[in-house]
């Protein structure tokens, strides 16, 4: 089973992009705080940063209703792959999002009267990533 449930804060401004074939996607990170109690009793927040991506209608939904600093609840699956930069092989692991929901009180500031409580996509929105699909 490959299923991930996360709640975190979006770490940067969202920018929807398109593949050469016109498929919408968005890639962004979320930060998740974990309170850690130090030996002296002081509590500090340790952050974990997770890379996420969404495709198709879900990418459009996320870029329309979420922005930097918003708390987002998401469900997805882990995906991994490789790419090369200057003949150096790089590895990545991302969360491929297939469902999102608002996780903060700002939801009331957005007109969601015509939306479901959360937004779900189907597997057809995701496309296999190939070098030819990306504009970089």
DSSP for 32-95? Answer: EEEEEE-TTS-EEEEEEEEEEEEEHHHHHHHHHH--TT-EEEEEEEEEEEEEEETTEEEEEEEE
Q: What integer pLDDT is reported at residue 105 of this predicted model?
A: 75
Q: What integer pLDDT is reported at residue 13 of this predicted model?
A: 95
Q: What integer pLDDT is reported at residue 121 of this predicted model?
A: 56
In tens, the pLDDT along 109-130 reads: 555 545 444 555 555 455 444 4
Angle at 110 (CA atoms; ends 107, 111), nearest 5 degrees: 120
CATH of 4-123, one of 2.40.50.140, 1.10.3720.10, 3.40.50.450, 1.10.150.110: 2.40.50.140
List of the chain residues with pLDDT < 70: 106-136
Q: What integer pLDDT is reported at residue 119 of this predicted model?
A: 53
The pTM of this model reads 0.76
Angle at 17 (CA atoms; ends 135, 9), nearest 5 degrees: 130
Q: What integer pLDDT is reported at residue 107 of this predicted model?
A: 53
Q: What integer pLDDT is reported at residue 109 of this predicted model?
A: 57
Q: What integer pLDDT is reported at residue 55 of this predicted model?
A: 97
Q: What integer pLDDT is reported at residue 104 of this predicted model?
A: 85
């Amino acid at each position: 089973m490959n299923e991930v449930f996360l709640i975190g804060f979006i770490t940067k401004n969202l920018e929807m992009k398109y593949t050469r074939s016109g498929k919408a996607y968005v890639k962004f990170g979320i930060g998740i705080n974990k309170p850690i109690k130090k030996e002296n009793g002081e509590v500090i927040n340790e952050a974990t940063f997770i890379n996420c991506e969404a495709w198709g209608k879900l990418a459009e939904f996320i870029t329309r209703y979420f922005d930097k600093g918003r708390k987002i609840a998401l469900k997805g699956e882990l995906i991994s792959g490789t790419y090369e930069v200057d003949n150096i092989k790089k590895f990545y692991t991302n969360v491929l999002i297939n469902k999102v929901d608002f996780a903060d009180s700002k939801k009331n500031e957005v007109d969601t009267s015509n939306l479901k409580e959360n937004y779900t996509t189907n597997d057809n929105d995701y496309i296999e990533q190939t070098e030819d699909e990306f504009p970089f």
